[in-house]
């Protein structure tokens, strides 16, 4: 059974992302490496009000992750950005990605009224649309969800 937790201290020896990094690299995805690099450099630690970074565990192994922070591409404090969603291949299609996104969306209010993201892959696009995101034609975003109209 998977368990999802919000993380306030990212990847050190006590939070081992190596297996998830290896899985992502094998698919030519840089999500996990980028999240860890941004955290280590201080560029993005998901620690401003309303922000958060979630990891999914299977036992002691991290099998998925997703973060929410202010959208760095807009000068609008009410818009968040979903970032770095990745679930290890052997843990897909059991609802874990959806749970990670829902954790982020549950965290968003009252700070964020809207959440945007960008993806260029059709399966990911369809996944986000099934959750309630809509396609948008905006600079630096392909999908958006208006949280004022959710629920």
Domain assignment present for 89: yes
Residue 83: partners with Cβ closer than 8 Å, 6 or more residues away = 35, 44, 66, 67, 68, 69, 117
Retrieve residue 51's tokens. Answer: 């922000």
Residues 83-110 have pLDDT tens digits of 999 999 999 999 999 999 999 999 999 9
* Long-range Cβ pairs for the range 116-123 (8 Å, 24+): 116/71, 116/73, 116/74, 116/79, 116/80, 116/81, 116/82, 116/140, 116/141, 116/143, 116/144, 117/81, 117/82, 117/83, 117/141, 117/142, 117/143, 117/144, 118/142, 118/143, 119/143
Per-residue tokens: 74: 């807009």
This model's pTM is above 0.95? no
Q: Is residue 45 part of a domain?
A: yes
* Residue 139 domain-assigned (yes or no): no
CATH label of the domain that carries residue 99: 3.40.630.30
* Structural domain contains residue 116: no
Give me the mean pLDDT over the 56-79 stretch: 93
Helix, strand or coil for residue 76? coil
Domain count, the chain: 1
Q: Average the pLDDT over 64-76 and give the result.
A: 95
User: Does residue 151 fall inside a structural domain?
Assistant: no
Domain hosting residue 45, numbered range: 2-108
The whole-number pLDDT of residue 129 equals: 97
pLDDT, tens only, 39-60: 888 888 888 989 999 989 888 8
Give the ranges where 8-148 is alpha helix by DSSP (H): 18-26, 31-41, 96-107, 122-131
User: In this model, does residue 13 exceed pLDDT 50?
Assistant: no
Structure tokens at 101: 């996104």
First to last CA, the chain: 27
**43 found inside a domain:** yes
Q: In this structure, is residue 135 part of a structural domain? A: no
84 domain-assigned = yes
């Amino acid at each position: 059974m998977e368990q999802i937790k919000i993380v306030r201290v990212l990847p050190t020896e006590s939070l081992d992302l190596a297996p998830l990094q290896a899985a992502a690299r094998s698919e030519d995805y840089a999500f996990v490496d980028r999240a860890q690099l941004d955290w280590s450099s201080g560029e993005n630690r998901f620690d401003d009000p309303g922000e958060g970074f979630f990891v999914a565990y299977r036992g002691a192994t991290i099998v998925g992750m997703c973060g929410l922070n202010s959208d760095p591409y807009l000068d609008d404090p009410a818009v968040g950005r979903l970032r770095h969603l990745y679930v290890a291949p052997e843990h897909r299609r059991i609802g874990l990605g959806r749970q990670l996104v829902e954790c982020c969306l549950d965290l968003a209010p009252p700070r964020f009224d809207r959440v945007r993201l960008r993806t260029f892959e059709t399966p990911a696009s369809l996944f986000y649309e099934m959750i309630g995101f809509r396609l948008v034609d905006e600079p630096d975003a392909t999908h958006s969800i208006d949280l004022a109209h959710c629920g």
